[in-house]
Amino acid sequence: MVQVGSAAVTQAGFRFVDWGAVFAGAATAAALSFVFLTFGTAVGLTTVSPWPNSGVSAKTAASLAVFWTLAQQIGAFMIGGYIAGRLRARWAEANEDETEFRDGLHGALVWSIGIAFGALMLFAAAGAVARTGVNAISSAATAASNNADTIAYYADALMRPAARPATAQGATAARVEPLAQETRAEIGRIVARSVVAGSLTDNDRGYLASVVAQRTGLPQAEAERRVNETINEATRATREAADKARRAAVLGGLVTAISLMVSLAAAWWAAQKGGNHRDQRVPARFAFVPVRRQSIP
């Protein structure tokens, strides 16, 4: 039986979920999300610059990125939810409340499926950040291995010759011999291990101090002081990098969770609005494009 006046249809064996409308809305939401992200990335690159005192600050760029991540996902799922609610074939619901609930549920299904095959890039990015943060918190070894250049820098800093007075005119400055590759690698391993452990053993401290004293001409006590200061600075820099990764993981997780929850509410509301326009026979149209209202047979 078909009831034109109430736009309701009853049929034996019907299903309450109109999967065609759901997949249409989900595919639209996924495509729009990709387009919005691409557009936002292109616009964002125009606001930053490698030149000093040019472009927006890093904090401003990060704030804009967070805002666009929220806005584009919410907007995409709103449109997808509206499409699902508008396309859903209305059955013989008991009342208007039930109709609105089922319309909203179709919007939630758009949200669920859209995440499954359209927002995987967002989850991958958030997961990568989260894994980096967890590894940085659980083990400083990850941070040390990912900052090999930083470790090498501090190992080289240990071996820098001490500042000496300018030589008299005609005198020949002492030539510093290059450090053996094996010795350089060993010093780098000692520095990396000390950064991971957070302290330097007495044996390693004595060995490094003797190498530094021989290499730079510093007294033994001064060489030990340089070793302690360098190891402490390397440890501090590595822990700051780990803490920065942790804070980035926290921010990424919060932004992801908030945007997804708000997107669910937006898709639910938009699907109900689409169902209301379907029942009220409001003509579908693009923004700023007037369409003459006419009765739908």
Q: What is the pLDDT of residue 291?
A: 47
Taking 70 as the threshold, does the pLDDT of residue 146 lie above it? Answer: no
Tokens of residue 211, six digits: 């190498």
Q: Tell me the C-alpha to C-alpha distance, in Å, between residue 189 and each of 135, 144, 182, 194, 204.
A: 20, 11, 11, 8, 11
Q: Could you tell me which residue, 85 or 171, shows the higher pLDDT?
A: 85
Would you say the C-alpha torsion 202, 204, 205, 207 has a positive or negative sign? positive
- The pTM of the full predicted model, rounded to 2 decimals, is 0.62
Mean pLDDT score of the chain: 75
DSSP string computed for 63-90: HHHHHHHHHHHHHHHHHHHHHHHHHPPP
Domain ranges of the chain: 2-137+257-280
Between 207 and 49, the higher pLDDT residue: 207
Q: Is 236 exposed, middle or buried (0-12, 13-18, 19+ CB in 10 A)?
A: exposed
Q: How confident is the model at residue 127 (pLDDT cuts 50, 70, 90)?
A: low
> Which one has a higher pLDDT value, 145 or 283?
283
CA-to-CA distance for 122 and 257, rounded, in angstroms? Answer: 11
Q: Is the model's pLDDT at 257 over the cut of 80?
A: yes
Q: How far apart, in whole angstroms, are the C-alpha atoms of residue 192 and residue 140?
A: 10
Alpha helices in 175-219 (DSSP H): 181-197, 202-216
Q: What is the pLDDT of residue 144?
A: 45
Closest residue by Cα to residue 78 from 115, 25, 18, 37: 25
Give the number of other CB atoms < 10 A from CB of residue 246.
Answer: 18
For the record, the structure tokens of 62 come out as 């990060």
Contact 79, 269 (CB under 8 A): no
Average pLDDT over residues 116-127: 59
Q: What is the mean pLDDT of residues 187-202?
A: 82
AA letter at 119: A
**Residue 151 reports pLDDT greater than 80:** no
Query: Are residues 93 and 102 in contact, defined by beta-carbon separation less than 8 angstroms?
Result: yes
Q: pLDDT band at residue 89, thresholds of 50, 70 and 90?
A: confident
Length of the chain: 297
Residue 216, both tokens: 């730079």
pLDDT of res. 283: 83
pLDDT of residue 111: 92
pLDDT digits (tens, 9 = 90+) for 44-82: 777 777 777 777 777 787 788 888 888 888 999 999 999
Distance CA 139, CA 193 (A): 12
Check if the beta carbon of residue 267 is closer than 8 Å to that of residue 80. Answer: yes
| Residue pLDDT, tens place only, 213-233 | 888 778 888 888 888 888 888
